[in-house]
Structure 1
Amino acid sequence: MYRLNYEQFDRDNQYIGNDLGAVMKEGKTVFKTWSPLATGVYLNLYLDGEGKSRLESLPMERLDHGVWYVEILRDLDGVFYTYTFEFDHKTRHETIDIYAKACGVNGNVGAVVNFKTTNPEGWDKVKKPKCRNACDAVVYECHVRDFSADSSSGVAPEHRGKYVAFADKGTKYQGVNTCIEHLKELGITHVHLLPVEDYATVDESKPWLNQYNWGYDPKNFNCLEGSYSTDPYDPKCRIREFKQLVMALHENGIGVVMDVVYNHTYYTEESAFERSFPYYYHRIRNDGSFSNGSGCGNETASNHMMMRKFMIDSLRFWATEYKIDGFRFDLMALHDIETVNIIRDELNKIDPQILMYGEGWTGGESPLPADRLAYKWNSYQFGRVGLFNDNIRDSIKGGTFNPYDKGFVSGNRNAASTLRRGIAGSVPHYQINDAKEACWAFEPTQAVNYCEAHDNNTLWDKLCISAKNDSEGVRIKMDKLAAAIVILSQGMPFIQLGQDFLRSKPRILKEGEAPNDVNIYSHDSYNAPDYTNSIKWNRKLEYKEVFEYYKALIRLRKGSPLFRMYTKEDVNAHLHFMHNDDWNCVSWKLEKDGECYVIALNPYYENRGFGLPEGSFYLRLDESGKMNKQPVSGSFVCPPLSAVVYKRIKNI
C-alpha cells in the first residue's frame, strides 16, 4: 500500500476544478478523473449499460494535480463508460467513475446524460417550498418502496414501490386518502427519503424477486437507485421519474430531504473509490488495515481534501439538478467538523433554506480524534447543523436497545427531567439545572426531536412490548401522548411514515422459532420483505382517530410561532415551566405579544389537575385533537395519559 503524508499530499495534489466526471458542452464530451499515483488511465466506451459491447478504449492524458483527461469531439449523450486505472505500470482495475451522474443497470457502468432531456414537462416552472428555518419544518421519513408497495396504497400496480407512485393523484383506500394525498392531508412540510442513491444489495435486473433494502449500502453516490424506476436499464428513466417525484411534492408545497450515506462504501477493496486511488478515500489504521467506524467494513476519510471535495460536489449536484430541499447525513459523526461546517457554507450559497441534519454518533471507533468529529457532544462547533435527539427519544418511550424499558408515556417516573430538556429545545434554560447530558444544542434549530425512525422498533411495537399488560386503548393514549411531546416541543419534529396510524413491523418467524413478546416484531428491518416493511394503508382507516390527532398537533404547531422558536434567547424569554406538586406532571407556558398557550402532560392513569396563569383560556386541543371554546380560568383537569393545550382568550 501507499504510505502517504496525506496533508502534504493534498497540498501538492488537490484539484479545485468543478469539472470532474463526464461533461458535455458545445458538441463535445470531456472526461476528467483524479488519480495522482496512477501510471496510466484509460476511458472505455460502451453501447450498453452492462459493459458487454465495448466501442473503444482511449488513453487519457495526465494534467496537473493528478487529473487525467480526454476529449471526444462529439456529443456522447446515451453512451456508457468506465475507466481503467493502472498502477506501477502493471496492475489494472476497470471501474465506474466515482463522479458518474447516471449509470446502467446495477450501477457497474456510468452513463453520459444530457440532463436537459430528463426534465418532466413543467419542471422549470415549479418553485421550491419555502422554509424559513428548521423549526418550521415537520419532517416525515419515507422509504420509496414502503410508501406504495402494498395494494392498499391505491397506486396503479405498475407504479407500486416506484418513484412515480409519489406522483399518482387521488389515491385512496376505502375512501381514506393514501400516499401523496395522505401527505397533503397530514400537513407535513418535508418528506425525508431513505437513500435513493444507487445502492448495492438489490439486483435491479430481477424486479420479480421483490428484493428489499433500506439503502445504507452505497455504491454510486451521484446516481439514482434503479430498482425504484420502471426501467432500470434506461439511465434517463430513473432520473426523469425521480424528478417527477420531486416535482409532485413541490407542487403541493412539500420539500424533499435526501438521506445521504457518505460515511462508508458498501464495497471496500472492490469499491470504485479504492480502484480509482487505493488507500486514499478511506481511513486507514496504523497497521495498514481499513478502519471501520461505520460498522460496515470501512469509513471514508472526509478530512482528505479530495474526499471532502467529492462530498461537496455531490451535494451541490443533488441540490441544483434535482432541487433537493435538505440532506440527512447517516453516521454524521464519522465526518470531521471542518468538513461539516464547509458543507453548510456551500449549501447556504445555493439556498440557505436547505435543511441539514444527521446522526451525532458513529457505528464504531474511528482513528480520527474524537474532538475533530461531528459527534453530538461537539455540537457547539457546528451549531448550524441539526442532530437527532436521542435524549428526548429515550425519555419518551424508554431505552431503544431494551425493548422492555419504559419511558415517560409508559410509566417511567424518572424521565421528566430529561423530557423537560427536550421540550425546551435541548438548549440551556434558566429553570432547568439537572439532566445536563440532555442540554447539548447550540440553538433549538439543532434539535431533531423524534421517538420513531426506520431503525429499531416502531413506537407502537415498542409500546406493545413494554406496556404489554395494558389494553390497546391505553397504549393508544400513550402513543398520542408521545406524539404531542415530539410535535409541540421546541426544535424540529421528525416522524416516520405510518407512525400517525400506529405503524407496526410484524416479523416472519424462522422455521421452528417460538413466538415471544419481542421476536414477533422486527427491530432491524433493513432487508425484510414487504410483509414487514410496506405500509398497510388499511391501518389508517382502522386507527383514523390517531391520524386525526397527529394532524391536529401539526396544525397547532404550524399555527403559532411560539411552538417554533429558533433562538435560545427566545426560548428562555417565552417558555416557562409551571410549578406542579408532582414533578411528573409536566406543564409549560408559551407567551409573547399577548398570545399565550399552556401545555400539560399527564403520564398517569387517572385525571390530574393543573393550574392556569391569570386570565381566561379555552381548550385549544384536547386528547382527541379537538377544541372547546368554553372559557376556563384558574385550573383545569388533564385526562389520563394525555396532553392538552389551552389558549388564552384575548381581551378577557
Structure 2
Amino acid sequence: MEPKGNTLVAWMEDLYTAKVKGPVTTPMNEWKIIQKENDKETDIVTTTTFSNGVLIFQVEEPFLAGKRYEVRGPAKQSAHLLSGKAVRTPLFDKLYAYSGTDLGAVCTNNATHFAVWAPTAEEVMLMIYERDKTNPKDSIPMQRSERGVWRIKLTGCQHGLRYTYKVFVNGMWQESLDPYASSSTLNGQHSVVINWEKLDGKARNPVQPPPMGQKTDAIIYEVHVRDFTAHLYSGVRNKGKYLGWTEKGKTPEGYSTTIPYLKEMGVTHIQLLPVQDFGSVDELKNSPAYNWGYDPIHHFVPEGSYAVNKSQPESRIIELRQLIDTLHCEGLRVVLDVVFNHFYVRENASLEKLVPGYYFRYGNDDLPADGTGVGNDTASERTMMKKYIIDCLLHWLNNYEVDGFRFDLMGIHDVHTMKEAAFVLHQKKPSLLLYGEGWNMHTPLEENQKATIEQASQLGGKIGFFNDRFRDAVKGHLSGSNGFIHANQDCENLDNIAFYMRGSIDWSSRQREGIFVDASQSINYVECHDNYTLWDQLKIRDDFSKEERIKMHRLATTMVLTAQGIPFLHAGQEFFRTKFGVENSYNAPVWINQIDWERRELFHSNIEYVKGLIQIRKRFEAFRLQNAAEISKRFERLEAPKDTLFFKLHKNKKENNLYVILNASRQSAAVPLPDVGIYQVIVDDERASLIPLKAVHSNRIEVRPISAMILYK
C-alpha cells in the first residue's frame, strides 16, 4: 500500500501487526494507535519499530474487526487504520468465518430477515427503494451479531422489495447489492427480495427426467440461450429469450428446431452458457449487444436480458424456470456453466465492497492476481469464498432443479473447495454432473492445490475435465501439429489416440499412466464455444476441399461419440457450424454466433448420421464403460494399416463384440478382421444405424478414406 502525496496510509498486516507509510516523523515513541468507540478513545498497547521507511506496530491483543482504529503521530498526523492484509490471514477466517445458512434476504409470509457478512464494517444500513426511484425511501441501521454478520428483521412478507446495503468500512461509505440476493432490478441497480413460495406455482410444470444409470450415459450439448432461437428461421416468436425455448419451432421447410430438435438428436444434457447475471450487456436495451456472459456480477441472479418481461424482477426467475421445466418435460437435463473464478469488475463487486480485500487472491506484490486474464482471481481457498460458491451452487440446485455444473476456468479454484462442493452437491443429487476447465492458470496457489487436470486423481471420479489432450490429438492445432484426422501420423501419435479413445485411464500393458481415475472424468470434445469451430479451423488452416472437410469433420465427431468417457458436442457441430472465421466470438454480433437453422436443412444427412451414432452409443453399453478395470478388460487395440486405428470392445453377457475402425488415410484401408464369423456393419462412411447396413462374411473389410466403420458379431 502506497501513500499519495504527504498523506499517511496505515493498514493491518495481520491481526497483530499494523504498518504505516508516509511522512513519518520522530520521535517514534510518540506514535500510537487509538481505538474510537462512541466518542470514547482508548490507547492500544503497542511496540513500535521503524524499518525501510515503514513504521511498524505490534499489539498484544489482536485487532478486532469492525472496530475503528486510528494511527496518530506527534505532529498531529493521523490515518484511519485499514483492514488491509489482515482479512487474508488464517486467523481472520478462524475468528470471523460464518457457517450459517441464512445469509441474504429470507422472506416468509410473516417476516423478512436480512443478513449480510461484513465483519470489517463499522456500520451497516439497510437501504430501501421504491420502484424506479434512485434515492432511498428509507435507511435502517442493522445490528451486528455473531462473527461479523449484520441483521435486521422487517415484519410481514416483503416480496418484491428493492434494497441495498450501505456499509462504513475502511473509513468510507460504500453502497452494495446483496451478494446473496435472488433477483435484482435491471442492470443490477437494486437487489430484490424474493419469497420462493410465491413463485412456486407460477407457470411451472416441474418434472424430473428419468434417472440416469451412470455418468458415462451422458451426452452433453453446449448452447447459448440467445444463440439457440435468434435466427430468422428458428420458427419461434420470443427469439433470443428464455421463453423462446418453450416454443416448438420449425424451419420454413418443416424441419424441427428448438427442444423438439434436441430430443430428436438424442443428447441427454443441455449445457447452457452462463445465465448468472453478467455485466457486459445493457438490460435496458431491447436489442442489446451480444456477449457469451463470462463476466458475472450477481451469481445468484439470472441474467435479465434473456427475459421477455425483464422489468419485473421475478420474471427472470419464472422464465428461466420455464426453460428448465420444458427441457425436463422432454427428458433432457440441464447443466449450468458457472463462473466463480472472477468478477466483471473487482472494485464494483458486492463482495469487495462488503469485505475489501478478502474474497480475491493477491500476489507477493500485494496486487490482485490475474491468472484469469481479466484483472482478478477469486480466492476459493478462503472459507467464506468457498462458502459463497457452495451456497450459490445449492441455490441453483434447490430453486431451479438443475442437473449439473460446468466450472469455467476451474484451475483457478483449489481442490479442497471443489471436493467439498462435489460432496455436498452429490449428497443432494447423486446423478449431478460436475466438470470444468482444468487449465493450469498463473495464479498464486500451490500447484498441487489447483483444481487442474494434472490433479484429477485428487478429485477421484467426482469431477470431470475437458480433455484438451483428446481434442488436440484428434483435430490438431491451428498452427502446429496435425491431428489424427489429417493423417500422416507416426506410431506415437496413434498410440496417444488409442490411449484417449479408451478414456485416458491407466494402460498398464502399455506402461502408460492415466490422466484420470475413471473414464467419467474425461469430457471428450473437438469443439466448444471457445476458439474456432472445427469447420472454420479446417477451412482456415489448409486447402481442403469441401468434401474433405465434411469427411474429416464427421470422423472427428465419430471419435467423440465412440470414445470412452463423456461426449461433448458444440451446438451446430452436427451441421458443420461456422462462425465465419471468427475465433473468439464472445462479443461478436449475434448473426455470427446464432445457430443457423438453414444449415440444419442444408446438412440434414449429416445430422442423421450423428443421430445414428448417438443411438448406437446408447444401445451398446461397451461405449459407455466407466470403471477402469472394466475398460482394461474389454478394450483391445488391434493391428491396422497406417493412419488407421482399430479396436475391439469385448462383449459382456448381454451384448455382441464391437469393432471400431477409424481410417484417417486418404486411401481406402484393407483391415483384417480378427474373428471367424459373420459381421454386421452399423456404421460406414455415409450412414449410422442400429439396423445393420450390410453383413460381412469375409475376414477382411475395406474402409473408405477418411471415414469410420463399426461392426458387431
TM-score bracket for the superposition, by shorter chain length:
over 0.9
Residue 32 of structure 2 is matched in structure 1 by none
Are 2:509 and 1:426 aligned? no
CA distance in 2, matches of 1:374, 1:381: 9
Residue 514 of structure 1 is matched in structure 2 by none
- Indicate if the aligned counterparts of 1:409 and 1:481 stay in contact, CA closer than 8 A: yes
CA distance in 1, matches of 2:641, 2:239: 53
Give the stretch that moved more between structures: 252-261 or 420-429.
420-429
> Which of the numbers 486, 489, 494 marks the counterpart of 1:410?
486
1:342-397 superposed Cα distances (whole Å, 9 cap, x missing partner): 000011111010100000014x4111111111111111001220000001101111
Are 2:141 and 1:63 aligned? no
> Which of the numbers 179, 194, 215 marks the counterpart of 2:273?
194
Q: CA deviation at 1:187?
A: 0.5
Are 2:679 and 1:605 aligned? no
* Paired residues for 1:139-178 under 5 Å: 139-156=220-237, 159-178=238-257
CA distance in 2, matches of 1:458, 1:403: 15
> Which of the numbers 61, 65, 85 marks the counterpart of 1:3?
85
Q: CA deviation at 1:628?
A: 1.7
- Indicate if the aligned counterparts of 2:641 and 2:670 stay in contact, CA closer than 8 A: no
Residue 284 of structure 2 is matched in structure 1 by 205
Residue 114 of structure 2 is matched in structure 1 by 31
CA distance in 2, matches of 1:293, 1:138: 31
* Paired residues for 1:350-499 under 5 Å: 350-362=428-440, 364-383=441-460, 384-399=462-477, 402-403=478-479, 405-414=481-490, 415-433=493-511, 439-468=514-543, 470-499=544-573
> Which of the numbers 587, 594, 603 marks the counterpart of 2:646?
587
CA distance in 2, matches of 1:609, 1:121: 62
1:452-481 superposed Cα distances (whole Å, 9 cap, x missing partner): 00000001111112232x211111011110
* Paired residues for 1:271-420 under 5 Å: 271-362=349-440, 364-383=441-460, 384-399=462-477, 402-403=478-479, 405-414=481-490, 415-420=493-498
Q: Flag the structure with more relative contact order, 1 or 2, with Cα contacts below 8 A and sequence separation at least 6.
A: 1
Count residues with an aligned counterpart: 621
SS in 1 for 2:262: helix
- Residues 204 and 16 (structure 1), Cα distance of their counterparts in 2 relative to 1, 3 Å cut: same
1:76-132 superposed Cα distances (whole Å, 9 cap, x missing partner): 1111110011114x4010011111111110113110012233346673651244223
CA distance in 2, matches of 1:641, 1:173: 33
SS in 2 for 1:290: coil
Residue 542 of structure 1 is matched in structure 2 by 602
CA distance in 1, matches of 2:673, 2:319: 53
- Indicate if the aligned counterparts of 1:141 and 1:192 stay in contact, CA closer than 8 A: yes
- Indicate if the aligned counterparts of 1:638 and 1:644 stay in contact, CA closer than 8 A: yes
CA distance in 1, matches of 2:519, 2:92: 40
SS in 2 for 1:427: coil
Letter in 1 for 2:645: V
CA distance in 2, matches of 1:485, 1:74: 59
SS in 1 for 2:106: strand
CA RMSD between the two structures: 1.5
> Which of the numbers 302, 305, 308 marks the counterpart of 1:224?
302
Q: CA deviation at 1:170?
A: 4.3
Residue 680 of structure 2 is matched in structure 1 by 618
CA distance in 1, matches of 2:146, 2:133: 30
Residue 707 of structure 2 is matched in structure 1 by 642
Are 2:578 and 1:524 aligned? no
Give the stretch that moved more between structures: 570-579 or 585-594.
585-594
CA distance in 2, matches of 1:167, 1:551: 22
1:155-188 superposed Cα distances (whole Å, 9 cap, x missing partner): 11xx100011111024334121111121011110
CA distance in 2, matches of 1:300, 1:537: 39
1:481-503 superposed Cα distances (whole Å, 9 cap, x missing partner): 00110010000000100000000
- Indicate if the aligned counterparts of 2:233 and 2:250 stay in contact, CA closer than 8 A: no
CA distance in 1, matches of 2:665, 2:540: 19
- Indicate if the aligned counterparts of 2:106 and 2:195 stay in contact, CA closer than 8 A: no
CA distance in 2, matches of 1:125, 1:195: 22
Residue 254 of structure 1 is matched in structure 2 by 332
Residue 518 of structure 1 is matched in structure 2 by none
SS in 2 for 1:269: helix
CA distance in 2, matches of 1:172, 1:185: 15
CA distance in 2, matches of 1:206, 1:298: 28
SS in 2 for 1:643: strand
Q: CA deviation at 1:560?
A: 1.3
Letter in 2 for 1:192: Q
Residue 20 of structure 1 is matched in structure 2 by 103
CA distance in 2, matches of 1:524, 1:150: 20
SS in 2 for 1:297: coil
- Indicate if the aligned counterparts of 1:173 and 1:537 stay in contact, CA closer than 8 A: no
Residue 83 of structure 1 is matched in structure 2 by 165
CA distance in 2, matches of 1:368, 1:173: 54
> Which of the numbers 26, 33, 43 marks the counterpart of 2:126?
43
CA distance in 2, matches of 1:108, 1:26: 25
CA distance in 1, matches of 2:183, 2:146: 27
Q: CA deviation at 1:3?
A: 1.9
Letter in 2 for 1:499: Q
Q: CA deviation at 1:431?
A: 4.3
SS in 1 for 2:305: helix
> Which of the numbers 585, 601, 611 marks the counterpart of 1:551?
611
- Residues 407 and 35 (structure 1), Cα distance of their counterparts in 2 relative to 1, 3 Å cut: same
Residue 628 of structure 2 is matched in structure 1 by 568
CA distance in 2, matches of 1:576, 1:526: 42
Output the TM-score relative to the length of structure 1.
0.93
CA distance in 1, matches of 2:545, 2:575: 17
Letter in 2 for 1:478: M
CA distance in 2, matches of 1:427, 1:125: 38
SS in 2 for 1:307: helix
- Indicate if the aligned counterparts of 1:137 and 1:189 stay in contact, CA closer than 8 A: yes
- Indicate if the aligned counterparts of 2:678 and 2:695 stay in contact, CA closer than 8 A: no
Q: CA deviation at 1:51?
A: 5.3
- Indicate if the aligned counterparts of 1:229 and 1:237 stay in contact, CA closer than 8 A: yes
Output the TM-score relative to the length of structure 2.
0.85
- Residues 124 and 7 (structure 1), Cα distance of their counterparts in 2 relative to 1, 3 Å cut: farther
* Paired residues for 1:501-512 under 5 Å: 501-506=575-580
Residue 509 of structure 1 is matched in structure 2 by none
Letter in 1 for 2:638: M
- Residues 467 and 632 (structure 1), Cα distance of their counterparts in 2 relative to 1, 3 Å cut: farther
- Indicate if the aligned counterparts of 1:84 and 1:93 stay in contact, CA closer than 8 A: yes
Residue 196 of structure 2 is matched in structure 1 by 115
Letter in 2 for 1:115: W
- Indicate if the aligned counterparts of 1:604 and 1:641 stay in contact, CA closer than 8 A: yes
